[in-house]
Chain A
Amino acid sequence: MSAITSLPQTAGSVEAMKPEKGYISVKDFDFWYGTHQTLFKVNMEMPEKQVTAFIGPSGCGKSTLLRNIKRMNDLVDGQHHQGDITIGNDTIYHPHLEVTSLRKRVGMVFQKSNPFPKSIYENVVYGLRVAGVNDRATLDAACEHALRSSALWEEVKDRLSASALGLSGGQQQRLCIARAIAVKPEVLLMDEPCSALDPIATGKIEELILELKKEFTVVIVTHNMQQAARVSDLTAFFYLGKLIEFDTTLKIFTNPSLKQTEDYITGRFG
């Protein structure tokens, strides 16, 4: 258990409990890319305003599930699913639900920072603009708020009209977070947000995640055990498309129920 002894204490509240009914519910969820099934009967409840981490080896389906929460997999040809995902009380696969309105409720930060080749300002207000907001004062306020929330305001406030592509990698990723939260989503999904960043930038993003969970329900996919331990309240371990174990982060990292989980966390496989 060497990995665990070296862990800092989990940032997640000790009193975090695995909820009976979460804000995001995944029910009997199966998913296929063509004929290849990538998720098998996943059931999980992710609580509101807490951080849920998905861990597991590459190809285990954690990113697939994350992308399904905002139906990003709709873009893939030949995908289909069974079961259901609900956010709040709304099923995301409701036939009358417009997928763009779902995507406005659920923000996402990608593995590789992907700012638009526009100014910093235009990047942050992009979501508002496509939603039809063009009032300058509203946009300015939203931009400042989002940049402050993503701890980028002090660094960029004097060059909002400069290109976003001139920022450093860590700044770009925080800009992407600002862009995602500017539209005030309910849920924030993060797909390995720090995998391309150096430790200092990673540290900043992790601090930011702990701030963000006051306002948003956060789901994060990570390959970094320490990161999962540091930022999340709950941790889900996936393996080969199946949810193996899902519990409070403290329990997963100190006393997992299953041998398989323990082996993965301690680095014996995966």
Chain B
Amino acid sequence: MSTALPPRTESSTPGRSGLPKQAKIRGEAQVWLTGMGLALALTLAAFLLWVIVSNGLAVFWPKRITEFTVRVGTQTTTIAGELVSRRELLTNEPGKPVVSEVHIFTGNKDVYKNAFRFIDAATIIAESQPLDLIEVERLEYGNAVGYPVALKLRGADKKIESIPAEDSRFPSELNRLISETNDRWDVIKSLEKGKIGANAQKIKRLENERKKIPAGEQGVLDADIAKLKSEYQELAKQAGVLRAKQNEHKLSIRLASGESKDILLGKIVEVFQPNRMGLLSRIGFFFHRMWNFVSDNPREANTEGGIFPAIFGTFAMTLLMSVGVVPIGVLAAIYLREYAKQGPLVRGVRIAVNNLAGVPSIVFGVFGLGFFVYFCGGSIDRLFFGDSLPTPTFGTGGILWSAATLSLMTVPVVIVATEESIASVPRGMKEASLAMGASKWQTIQRIVLPASVPGILTGTILAMARGAGEVAPLMLVGVVKLAPTLPLNTEYPFVHLDQKFMHLGFHIYDLAFQSPDSEAARPAVFATTLFLILLVLVMNLSAILLRERLRKKFKTSAF
């Protein structure tokens, strides 16, 4: 090898002492080159991950509220809010003084019309962090920030009793009432979604049946329908009473800028005092908020509340996709590797399969819409759901068609990985099986497939990672901004494959580009991205664990 190297300088003579040194130097340069490549890739990936993780986690951290006193001309105002950033405005005029700005989250969107504000740093004359300031998380209009004034309780005789904030009963009473209203929301939800929903379904089913039977005999069903309808009235009344109760009591606060504001307790999620929190309670609150984000339904055009339906939808769709893609991919790989006569045709098929992975995903979306949704779904509707036409059941986007479309998109990954692992099963093992009188299929079933399971799982992991992060095709075949129910719930028939669903990837896109208030949506974008990555990570890790277990089993013990 060393003789192939040309002498680099005239002085270096191609001798036994010169060449090894030269070769060594060249080798080191290559180590540096390859190392730099890796370092570059790792740095970029780490930077991206850092941006997502730090921004995503910061969303849950309870920030202190700062009160700014601002003087413009002779007018002095105060304004309170969480500090978002301090920044200097770019200027290209030389000599012009640099203008620096403070970006704060003021909350109180209902009063200020905007939850964020920029203040010219030069006008700020004082900054403080008063301990009394509270932040109120609400069901509507985002958070409110201000000083607590009083709790206005409406008694049975419609008289209003006021508990001022200085009263020692104030904090405990406030917390008690808020948890009471929150519990009442749960009751209302289960009443409206559960009982009333089931009732409505029953009525719909009966009415469909009623259409089918001749006019003279409809009386039997009419009675049932009337009974269900009166039940519905009763339930709706109950819900109405509960809802009215939610509006009984109010919390009145005074904003830092002086305005007063009464907030219905029924609209409050929780109240906290960020400036009074110690480190431990801050950490506790951090996890509490994170849990709420993961487990709650979204509110306020998805910018507030949680992402539970999106997490669940992503998980269910990815699982459904894997269930679809793995058998098809494995069967195709078995045919290509074990049965097909290796030749130009098979090579062509293999190239075509690999190239399928390069087709833009939106093209798969369009195909899914045309083939799965309109053709397959439309046919299913005509055959089985003729009653409810023209309202489509399967003839519109849904979780099943999304999973099918993504299966189609990710099938090359599974085929390639499975083929490789089938090819790596030792020939001797296959021969031994055939030599024992096993047929080809028996050999595949008993020897080749068990040995390829780790490779198949690798393919599944890759497919899942790609499928879970995909957005574009889903927009055409079934993902929605807000799905009222989960694709898997307690309502008959429990699994609703025809239903539209929410997806974390689409949720990110929706928050970032479709949101009415992009500034307010920004934290949620990062947090959602973080949880999408976490979800993919969790699914991959479980597949990897399964694979390692199988590998171990495969290597050392009974299989």
Contact = CB atoms under 8 A, between A and B. Distances in A.
B558 A162 contact: yes
A166 B557 CA distance: 8
Interface string B408-449: 000000000000000000101101111111110010001100
A110 to B, nearest CB: 6
Interface in B353-390: none
A87 B115 CA distance: 92
A75 B433 contact: no
A116 B434 contact: no
Contacts of A201: none
Contacts, number: 83
B434 A72 contact: yes
A172 to B, nearest CB: 11
B339 interface: no
B446 A130 contact: yes
B428 A114 contact: yes
Contacts of A151: none
Contacts of A122: 558-559
B268 interface: no
B559 A118 contact: yes
A126 B433 contact: yes
B437 A103 contact: yes
Interface in A56-72: 70, 72
- For the side of the interface on A, what is the size category? 20 to 34
Interface in B72-88: none
Contact of A100 (B428, B437, B554, B559): B437
Contacts of A130: 433, 436-439, 442, 446
A17 interface: no
Contacts of A163: 555-559
A114 B558 contact: no
A101 B558 contact: no
A117 B437 contact: no
Contacts of B558: 118-119, 122, 161-163
Contact of A75 (B426, B434, B450): B434
Nearest to A185: B437
A131 interface: yes
A119 B433 CA distance: 15
B437 A101 contact: yes
A110 B556 contact: no
Contacts of B256: none
A174 interface: no
Nearest to B439: A100
Given A122-B558, A163-B558, A165-B556, A116 B447 contact: yes
A262 B555 CA distance: 47
B437 A116 contact: no
A20 B426 CA distance: 41
B150 interface: no
B434 A103 contact: yes
B432 to A, nearest CB: 4
A115 B219 CA distance: 74
A108 interface: yes
Interface in B301-346: 341-342
Nearest to A70: B435
B554 A117 contact: yes
A72 B437 CA distance: 11
A32 to B, nearest CB: 18
A161 B431 CA distance: 23
A70 B435 CA distance: 8
Interface string A167-209: 0000000001001100100000000000000000000000000
B442 A110 contact: no
- For the side of the interface on B, what is the size category? 20 to 34
Contacts of B428: 110, 112, 114
B438 A100 contact: yes
B468 interface: no
A39 to B, nearest CB: 20
A113 B439 CA distance: 21
A72 B436 CA distance: 11
A127 B559 CA distance: 16
Contacts of A104: 436-437
Contact of B436 (A75, A112, A183): A183
Contacts of B432: 110, 114-116, 176, 179
Interface string A218-261: 00000000000000000000000000000000000000000000
Contacts of B555: 117, 163, 165
B556 to A, nearest CB: 5
Given A110-B431, A114-B426, A114-B428, A119 B436 contact: no
B451 interface: yes
B329 to A, nearest CB: 23
Contact of A103 (B429, B436, B450): B436
B450 A117 contact: yes
Contacts of B342: 77
Contacts of B554: 117
Contacts of B431: 72, 75, 110, 114
- Residue from B435, B446, B451, B556 whose CB has the most chain A CB atoms within 10 Å: B435
Contacts of A101: 437
- Residue from B431, B434, B555, B556 whose CB has the most chain A CB atoms within 10 Å: B434
Contact of B557 (A115, A131, A162, A180): A162
Contacts of A112: 428
A131 B442 CA distance: 10
A115 to B, nearest CB: 8
Interface in A117-174: 117-119, 122, 126-127, 129-131, 161-163, 165-166
Contacts of A129: 446
A130 B337 CA distance: 22
A116 B433 contact: yes
Interface in A76-119: 77, 100-101, 103-104, 107-108, 110, 112, 114-119
Contacts of B426: 114
Nearest to B447: A116
Nearest to B432: A114
22 contacts: A70-B435, A75-B434, A100-B438, A103-B434, A103-B437, A110-B435, A112-B428, A114-B429, A114-B431, A114-B432, A116-B429, A116-B432, A116-B433, A117-B450, A117-B555, A126-B436, A126-B438, A127-B436, A127-B437, A130-B438, A163-B557, A165-B556
The 5 tightest CB contacts between A and B, nearest first, are A104-B437, A114-B428, A119-B558, A130-B438, A127-B436
Given A122-B558, A176-B432, 17 more contacts: A70-B435, A110-B432, A110-B435, A114-B426, A114-B429, A114-B431, A116-B429, A116-B432, A117-B451, A122-B559, A126-B433, A127-B436, A130-B433, A163-B556, A163-B559, A166-B556, A183-B436
